Structure 1
Amino acid sequence: MRRLKLILPFLGLSLLLTACWDIKSLQDVNYFTGIGIDYSDNTYKVYVQQLDFASVAKSEGGGKSDKPATVWIGSAEGKSISQAIVELYQTTQQTVFWGHLNAIVLSESTLKHGELLGVIDSLIRYPEIRYTPWVYGTKADISDLFTTKPFFNLSPINSILHSPETNYNQRPIIAPMRLSQFIREMREPGQTALLPSLNVSDKTWKRNEKPDPKLEIDGIFAIRNVGYTSWVNDKELLGIRWLVNKSQGSRITLNQGDQTIAELKLAKPKSKVRVDMVNGAPVFKVGIKVSAAIIELWEMRSEADLEQLAGQLIAEQVRTALRVGINKKVDLLNLEHDFYRKKYNDWNKLTSAGKSPLLPINLGEVKVSVKIVQSGMYKFKRKMTPY
């Protein structure tokens, strides 16, 4: 009896516990995986991407389907982003869940409109949206980006849109950017956010002799002080990768005149920027250290010669990126941010507390140290004799 008296209060409390009576099944929820925002004629147009999670499960499990993955694209317009999303809700059929949102695409007109903080604010006010989605700018049609599929009928989850790091590891020029980094960099004093530009290319691949479009990163949109500055194509950005201190596998081809000498794979670049004030103006000095591996060797040269040629090429790429940026009024190397951090009082005076960009930028010495640490499967000094 005494034991029963002890148990009864706990049994009564258990009646107050909530159960899973309001849980929704997978098929009863619409999961948005991507959102795109365009702006035209004082109206926002919102695109959303919705995937068939059955095909996603197959691709994540390593399976390949005989049928293309199913993708739904919804679009609606409104005077605000929230109004456009409410218009989408009218036909979504089931409850919408934003927790799987993994990509945000902003059109060039949206970036130029000048209300970028308002656009981001409209999105992150949804409690289900995290600060982790990948962010892109684009000149292309957003619906084309959302419907372009990867190889082998895999889900778009396996494309550059949702998984850009795999592509970046193979061609590390323009680093992918998450929403948290984008917000931080576009608001940071003296910082220029280099937002990756997403495009659709049908020039590289064919399927059964017919063009097979694929996504690509074709440049960057420069954003400073939450405002659009310029667009720069990827061919002019080769120098920015050497100031990104992260492990990567960039490749360079060494030429002398019309003769190709070697191709190197460079890894683990480490850069330092020094700022000196000369006659009241900042002069930047850049030091870069990088390790190299020989990928192809067409002409026998000493290690010292190859290291010197590689250093000269890297220094020239850095200077080229700076010149391109100055012509477009963009600090592609983010040297102004180093000036802000290391010489704040001078930066504050010369840029009117960040209201005007630090242009032109005076770049002094660019010192590059390349060390060849690997020569592949063969010894470096092998004899190139025919059989």
Structure 2
Amino acid sequence: MMKHGIWRKAVFVFLILPMISGCWNMRELEHMFYAHAIGIDYIDGQYKLYAQILDFSTLGKQEAGGSKSETTEGAWVGKGVGNSFQEAVHHLYATSQRRIYWGHLNSVVLSEAVLKHGIHEVVDQLTRYNEFRYTLWVFGTRNSVEEVLLASPILESSPVYSQLSDPEDVYEQSSFIPPKRLYQLITELREPGKTPLLPLIHLSKGRWVDKKTQYSALELEGVGIIKDGKWNGWLSKEDITGSRWLDRGTVRTPLVIDSDKQPAAVVIFEHPKPRIHPEMRNGKIYFNIGVTVKGSISLMVKEVSEAEIASRSEKLIGEEIRRTFKEGLKQKTDSLNLLDSFYRNKLPEWRKLTQLREFALDAESLQSIDVKVQITNSGRTVGPFSPSK
């Protein structure tokens, strides 16, 4: 009986071995390359793919408090070329010495050229392959895609800490142009009332230096306007400033208050609450906007009352909103995304309107802008110091 028991146990172990061997064919982590960001360009009828591969040795040293690597700046950039996006990817594979793993891909940078060509094929490929995620950060650029991917963060050796990889970190401190994820871009491309505005990243040179070198830093310079999946122009950071007051995602944003054409105070505003009221009269669409926002005085260089600061802030915010609206009209663009509220609240009228004309807005479409500012913290007055007598 004991022999039969031992035999049965041996058979059981033999049968169960195949079931526990599922991890035997897994690759070691150090035997793969990890793509962290990609850039896509379109030149002479061909796609150019740039893949930023992380050097984890520099990241590990940094996390442990070590020094920077002397051989690399935290990443390598590989290139692939092809008549299609997929062909460019496989051209990249040909020179890669290891399997490239895309599961940690964090960001995508699209050149102005590929945006003008159209992004439908690129978006289709990014959403079709199972290792890509819908949560990728998406940027456009008017600079060289390769230079953007090679830019090293200030004081850091790894691109993991760059604005390209973690744009929310900067946005939460100073909210002007909101970062955009892939799923948000796809949603806007499919919504009839939406105008996709893609953050444009570029290299700002000469603003960060040490004793030896001037460094290039990544910065958002504006937004690219996307229409029917293609580039339709762009708006600078100054031109798009008014949109921050209609974005409920705005975390923290400054406003400089002038007095007699001189800076008098700086107010930090948080979490604006916009209201957009669309209406249709005589076959035309009109909008009335309301904004309620609270702010605190961060700096005061002149003696100005809180009531005057609040009144001046209300006027400046209204001017910024109207300016952004007018800058959009120059390119036949709904830069404030006002039409989305009309589409969602008055669908029958929307259908009639879009059948009559291609672009429904004009200079009279934005009627009133009502801004209510509440100063919650007077901050601290800073003036000239005089010696005591």
TM-score (norm 1): 0.92
User: Structure 2 unaligned runs (5+)?
Assistant: none
Q: Secondary structure at the match of 1:203?
A: strand
Work out whether residues 229 and 329 of structure 1, in 8 Å CA contact, stay in contact via their aligned partners in 2.
no
Residue 162, structure 1, aligned to residue 165, structure 2: yes
1:91 match: 95
Residue 74, structure 1, aligned to residue 47, structure 2: no
CA distance in 1, matches of 2:165, 2:116: 24
Cα deviation for residue 41 of structure 1 reads: 1.7
State the Cα deviation string for residues 107-141 of structure 1 (Å, max 9, x = none). 10111113x11111122222111111110011111
Q: 2:110 aligns with which of 106, 109, 120?
A: 106
Work out whether residues 53 and 76 of structure 2, in 8 Å CA contact, stay in contact via their aligned partners in 1.
yes
Q: Which residue type is aligned with residue 304 of structure 1?
A: A
Work out whether residues 187 and 224 of structure 1, in 8 Å CA contact, stay in contact via their aligned partners in 2.
no
Q: Secondary structure at the match of 1:31?
A: strand
Work out whether residues 56 and 74 of structure 2, in 8 Å CA contact, stay in contact via their aligned partners in 1.
no
Cα deviation for residue 243 of structure 1 reads: 0.6
Residue 16, structure 1, aligned to residue 1, structure 2: no
Cα deviation for residue 383 of structure 1 reads: 10
Q: 1:43 aligns with which of 43, 46, 50?
A: 46
Indicate how the Cα distance of structure 1 residues 179 and 383 shifts in structure 2: closer, same or farther if over 3 A, else same.
closer
CA distance in 1, matches of 2:25, 2:291: 58
User: Structure 1 unaligned runs (5+)?
Assistant: none
Cα deviation for residue 83 of structure 1 reads: 0.7
Work out whether residues 66 and 153 of structure 1, in 8 Å CA contact, stay in contact via their aligned partners in 2.
no
State the Cα deviation string for residues 241-270 of structure 1 (Å, max 9, x = none). 001102511101111332322110001111
CA distance in 1, matches of 2:191, 2:95: 40
Cα deviation for residue 209 of structure 1 reads: 5.0
CA distance in 2, matches of 1:59, 1:163: 17
Q: Secondary structure at the match of 1:130?
A: coil
Q: Which residue type is aligned with residue 73 of structure 2?
A: A
Task: For 1:275-290, list aligned pairs within 5 A.
Answer: 275-290=278-293
- Alignment RMSD: 2.3
Residue 251, structure 1, aligned to residue 287, structure 2: no
1:52 match: 55
CA distance in 1, matches of 2:285, 2:32: 56
Q: Secondary structure at the match of 1:137?
A: strand
Indicate how the Cα distance of structure 1 residues 59 and 193 shifts in structure 2: closer, same or farther if over 3 A, else same.
farther
Task: For 1:227-376, list aligned pairs within 5 A.
Answer: 227-352=230-355, 356-360=358-362, 362-376=365-379
Task: For 1:215-230, list aligned pairs within 5 A.
Answer: 215-230=218-233
CA distance in 2, matches of 1:342, 1:248: 27
CA distance in 2, matches of 1:238, 1:63: 40
Q: Which residue type is aligned with residue 85 of structure 2?
A: I
